[in-house]
Chain A
Amino acid sequence: MSRFISSWQQLLTRACVVSGVVCFSFVLSSVRVSAAEASNDSKGTDLKSTGGSASKGGDDIVSFINKKIKEGWEANQLRPSAKATDAEWCRRAYLDLIGRIPTIAELDQFLKDNPAKRKENLIDRLLGEVPKNGAINDRYLEEYAGNWATIYTNLLIGRPVGNQNQIEHSREGMEQYLRRSFLENKPYDQLVQEIVSAEGASTPGMEGYNGATNFYIKHITRADPDKAEPTSRTAKNFLGVQVQCTQCHNHPFNDWKQDQFWSFNAFFRQTRKEGNRRGGNNGMQPEFELSNQNYTQNVSDPRNAELYYELRNGTQAVAYPKFVDGTKINASGYVNEVNRRSELAKLIVKSDLFGKAIVNRLWAHFLGYGFTKPVDDMGPHNPASHPELHDRLGAEFMAQGNDLKKLMKWIMLSEAYSLSSKMTPNNKKDDPSMGVKPAFSHFYMRSIEAEQLYESIETVRTQKKGQDIDWAKALQERNNVLSQFTLTFGNDEGGETTTFNGTIPQALMLFNGNLTKAAINTDDPTAILGAMLQKGAKPSEIIENLFLATYGRKPTSAEVGQLGSLIRVADPKIAYSDLLWSLINSNEFLFVY
């Protein structure tokens, strides 16, 4: 019986699922928007999975977004900012879709395109062509897939940390799986189903390798035998709800909510993680396997296998696998009769929370804030800023094939995404950093992410799209540079944080680090300055190109005047590299605006 005591304590002190406001209860009362109702006549007008031109359905959705956002402005007496310049928009689009700024040539290509079509054309170009058969021959598609693999790897298993000695998951495996999925634009429901139901080995090269297993391999730990952590991670990442809420000592326990947590947790009771750190070059690579095994021990009936947990009043309760909306499955503990995780995966991707969760996350990716803050804490305790829009986008996403590229395009073609980050007296109060709900009346400026910065400095240096080198090796190099900024919290939940943005260590890296040194090198003909100097470019051309390469704009006449006088007095090589150093270290390079 002592294991039930353990369960009780886990619940009381760590999962804290029963605390009143948050938790699963709202799921039952949430408004279900029928996908069919919400999608108007767009059903069946399937967009090309390449992210091709917007169909009538896509236009309808963009119009709906614009309408709802505008209603919010009117309700809050806000007037939107002017449009961002096309060059600013272009920089945003590159950073958000492929994780780096554009080269001078790419910006030029965009600005020479038909003004009426250039934004949509650029989105299509960056989303890339999914190959029908055979080899991928589209650099942008590779960049897109690499960028989103990074974003999702960070989401699912955290950023890379410096000390790799005790890590049990394979980052390479997770990233490789995700990259391949984004290359083929795998429907998002399929992607999530594969992760939630994953079985196999963690690390490339192992027999039965399946990179998708690494999400649970990371989050199942010996310290958490009841799998509370994978339970709450699954809910948070794929359903956008927080179940590990912690106000359990402030609120009386409510038994049926507690039951919701353990019923959800019951889906993980067949899951087994086994393995060790061994093999590899240094004899210390993680080699783990995720499998499903019969859940028959300590249950009264293996064909109706219960789990026990203890209520706060000391009495024991039982739970069987039951989804958040109340759907029950056959509770057999035998894997050959019921594969519980596989059943869970199917239920997750049919839930209306599933669409809303990904819409919220992607909206925040592009616009800086989601409809709720944080994006993965949805529910009646945390009302959305634009509930109708949120519901409809979630429903449309699911009705139209769970196509991430389609969703990205809807958001990027919206008016909200086109606005300048320059605030006006008429919308200055629309500032979610001050605790108000976002109205999206101007673009919210934000810090560039660590990975985006790394890739952008490389882009400035080489002026080439898509680095023509081994992907895994390039990733390893980037992780080596960036892992110094990631700190773990030193607890068994494996939480981590980045100390990158706006800190002195970041500034020191940009002041003195090798990345910057390589970028401002005047003697290397493969670096931007070295190449221009070798060609004998004129001073005005060099200055203009340095601004274009970093800021995506030409210098103003005031800047030319100020900097020109500085440059004239010094050795030109020194002056140019100092200018490029200054551009790379400046706010206009380090923010997304």
Chain B
Amino acid sequence: MMNRRHFMTHMAQAAAMSAPAAHMLAQGLSAGAADIKKGNKAVILLYMGAGPATIDIWDLKPGQPTGGEFKPISTTGDMQISEHMPLMAKQMHNAAIIRSMSTSEADHNRGRSYMHTGFKPDPNIEYPGYGAVMAHEFAEQSKYRGLEIPPVVSIGGPSAGPGFLSMAYSPFVVDFSGRVRNLDMTLSADRLAQRMQMLGKLESSFASQGRGEMAADHYKVLQNTANLLTSKQMDAFKIDSEPESVKKLYGIGEQPAGQPGMGMRVNSQFNQACLMARRLVQTGVPYVEIELGGWDDHQNVFTNLKNRLPVLDRGMASLIQDLDQQGMLKDTTVVWMGDFGRTPRINANTGRDHWARSWSTVVAGGGLKGGIAVGKTNVDGTAVDTTPYSSEHLMASVLKGLGVSLNTTYTTKNNRPKKIANGAAPIAELFA
């Protein structure tokens, strides 16, 4: 947290409108500071809103009553996955499946919050999500790279808030097309500067009245907004300038293999969002989240997945391959997760319901070992047979892989120390 005096100094500087946003973002100590001159460390979270049936994607149980309709296929890694993920099958040497997730939160809102923060929801403490943690830990990196656009970008979904970290780490939400509303600058830079100067004076007067931190924090958002209006880095949201070969890799402009079913919210622009995420990371953004929702398959799970998995497969596999080809995968962690898994038992509507006890997540790159399946579920997938891992273990692994010290401790607004990723140990197998 920036203290008030520090903030007021910036208020004065801000009036001149010359400094880029980076100095506003860079506060606190950066765990990865020593490495900032190497590749841009980043997380790309592929968030599967509502929670897909991982038993049909990453941890199949063929021949079991719980096994469903799909067949497993071999991959370039040491595991099999669903036949409806053929492109990912060719990338699994880069990826690890954690098949021993047991997360205990089977309500959408609670599961979403827990998976994003590593902490169980608590009405009295707002925990920061992956995005804010990454932005905070890599603030020095963002400064070094002169990042002018927000450090936390969420495409197609709300992501998670900054919790007790800075409001400046609120996710910048755009839709799948990357279109940002109200971005057209019809004003001259001089005119904007004059407005920001007046605004700075007005803000500082109210912020100094002792009405709480929110009043002072507000100016950081304004400052980031003003910078974004004039930044060339906004081009990162425009995938059109990518070479044809890259567009072809992602299948931009092609018909998706699956067709969205009735009532489903599949977005065939997922592949575009994946490409946008790579461009954003290249620009220096430390955290991008893409939400692909609509996996609440209480009924007709197999029909739905047959339509939807090709969309996921194309985007996810292209992203990992592209990052690999560009030499970015070692510094970029791709994380795949949902709110929770789905019941091994298939219900009367050929659906699967909410299930947090035994399910899978996937990671690729970012210093984590690929080509493996971590942990095991039992014969019909109803329980984890090995050491169970939860949200905080996954988060600790992702952060450790990027060089963040797991001894990092935050102070909440009520002065309670909270260790990063709730002080959990990372998943050892990912570092073997």
B414 at the interface (CB under 8 A from A): yes
Q: Which of chain B's residues have a CB closer than 8 A to the CB of A588?
A: 202, 205-206
Contact A9 B170, beta carbon cutoff 8 Å: no
Known A-B contacts A244-B107, A488-B293; A421 and B211 likewise in contact (beta carbons under 8 Å): yes
B76 within 8 A of A: no
A505 touches B172 (CB 8 A): yes
B379 close to A (CB within 8 Å):
no
Chain B residue at minimum C-beta to C-beta distance from A9: B353
In the complex, A504 has a CB within 8 A of chain B: yes
Main secondary structure, interface of B, reads loop
> Using a Cβ cutoff of 8 Å, how many contacts connect chains A and B?
230
CA distance A503 to B182 in the complex (A): 13
Mark B190-202 against chain A: 1 for CB-CB distance below 8 A, else 0: 0100110111011
Query: From residue B109, how far is it (CB to closest CB) to chain A in Å?
Result: 6
Known A484-B181, A562-B201; judge A14-B194 contact (CB<8 A): no
**Cα distance, A505 to B106, chains bound together (Å):** 31
Interface-side segment among A103-111, A204-212, A427-435: A427-435
A223 in contact with B298 given A10-B353, A435-B413 (CB within 8 Å): yes
Bitwise interface map of B from 117 to 133 toward A, beta carbon under 8 Å scored 1, else 0? 00000011100000000
Bits for A22-60, please: 1 = Cβ < 8 Å to B, else 0: 000000000000000000000000000000000000000
Segment with Cβ contacts to A, from B83-91, B213-221, B241-249, B395-403: B213-221
B375-406 interface (Cβ within 8 A of A): none
Give bound CA distance, A489 to B221, whole Å.
24
A505 partner, pick from B181, B205, B214, B293, beta carbons under 8 A = B181
Q: List residues of chain B with CB within 8 A of the CB of A444.
A: 212
Kindly state whether residue B361 has any CB partner on chain A within 8 Å: no
Can you give 27 A-B contacts (C-beta < 8 A)? A9-B343, A9-B353, A10-B353, A16-B106, A244-B107, A382-B123, A422-B210, A435-B416, A488-B265, A489-B158, A490-B157, A490-B291, A491-B296, A499-B158, A499-B171, A503-B172, A504-B224, A508-B183, A558-B205, A559-B201, A578-B194, A586-B206, A587-B206, A587-B214, A588-B202, A588-B206, A593-B211
Within 8 A of B (CB), among A49-86: none
Q: Which residue of A lies closest to B186 (CB)?
A: A512
User: Please, which residues of chain A bring their CB within 8 A of the CB of B199?
Assistant: 581-582, 585-586
Digitize A577-593: 1 where CB-to-B-CB distance is under 8 Å, 0 elsewhere: 01101110111101101
CB-based contact B195/A14 at 8 Å: no
Cα–Cα, bound, A497→B225 (Å): 22
CB neighbours (8 Å) of A246 from chain B are 105-107, 110-111
B225 touches A491 (CB 8 A): no
B49 at the interface (CB under 8 A from A): yes
Contact with A along B50-66 (1 / 0, CB 8 A): 11000000000000000
CB of A557, distance to nearest CB on chain B (Å): 12
Instruction: Identify which of residues 409-444 in chain A touch chain B, using a CB-to-CB cut-off of 8 Å.
Output: 421-424, 431, 433-436, 444
A281 CB-CB contact with B under 8 Å: no
B67 to chain A, nearest CB (A): 17
Given contacts A14-B354, A373-B124, A512-B183, contact A497 B158 (CB under 8 A): yes
Q: Please state if A434 and B194 are interface contacts (CB–CB under 8 Å).
A: no
Q: Are A3 and B343 in contact (CB under 8 A)?
A: no
Given contacts A3-B348, A587-B219, contact A423 B106 (CB under 8 A): no
From A2, A250, A509, A563, B104 is in contact (CB under 8 Å) with: A250
In the complex, the answer to whether A559 meets B205 with C-beta atoms within 8 Å is: yes
- How far is A558 from B206 in the complex, measured between Cα atoms in Å? 13
- If A14-B353, A559-B205, A562-B201 touch, does A2 touch B182 (CB 8 Å cutoff)? no
A249 touches B357 (CB 8 A): yes
Q: Which of A247, A487, A590 contacts B218 (CB 8 A)?
A: A590
* Residues in B137-174 with C-beta less than 8 Å from chain A: 150, 157-158, 167, 170-173
B259 to chain A minimum Cβ distance, whole angstroms, is 16
Q: Are B211 and A491 in contact (CB under 8 A)?
A: no
Interface mask (A548-567 → B, CB under 8 Å = 1, otherwise 0): 00000000101100110010
**A512 / chain B contacts, CB cutoff of 8 Å:** 182-186, 229
Check if A374 is an interface residue, CB within 8 A of chain B: yes
Instruction: Quote the shortest CB–CB distance from A224 to chain B (angstroms).
Output: 7
Contacts of A563 in B (CB 8 A): 198, 201
Distance in Å: Cβ of B267 to nearest Cβ of chain A: 10
B222 interfacial contact with A, CB 8 Å: yes
Contact B293 A6 (CB under 8 A): no
- Out of B211, B347, B414, which one reaches A436, CB within 8 Å? B414
Pairs A-B, 4 closest by C-beta atoms: A490-B293, A490-B49, A491-B50, A435-B124
Cα separation A491 to B353 with both chains bound (whole Å): 12
A491–B198 CB distance below 8 A: no
The answer to whether B296 touches A509, judged by C-beta atoms less than 8 angstroms apart, is no
Pick the contact of A13: B49, B106, B110 (CB < 8 A).
Answer: B106
Give the chain B neighbours of A492 by CB distance below 8 A: 50, 296, 298
> A511: CB under 8 A from chain B?
yes
| B339 touches A (CB below 8 Å) | yes
Bound Cα distance from A247 to B103, whole angstroms: 10
A166 to B65, CA, bound (A): 34
Contacting pair A222 B219 (CB below 8 A): no
- Is B326 on the interface with A (CB-CB < 8 A)? no
A591 touches B195 (CB 8 A): no
Partner of A574, one of B191, B265, B293: B191
- Do B158 and A487 have beta carbons less than 8 Å apart? yes
For the A-B complex with A9-B345, A574-B191 known, give 5 more contacts whose Cβ atoms are closer than 8 Å.
A249-B104, A373-B123, A492-B50, A511-B225, A587-B203
Residues in A with CB closer than 8 Å to B173 are: 487, 499, 503, 505
State the CA gap A225–B300 with chains docked (Å): 13
Q: CA–CA, A512 to B182, complex, Å?
A: 5
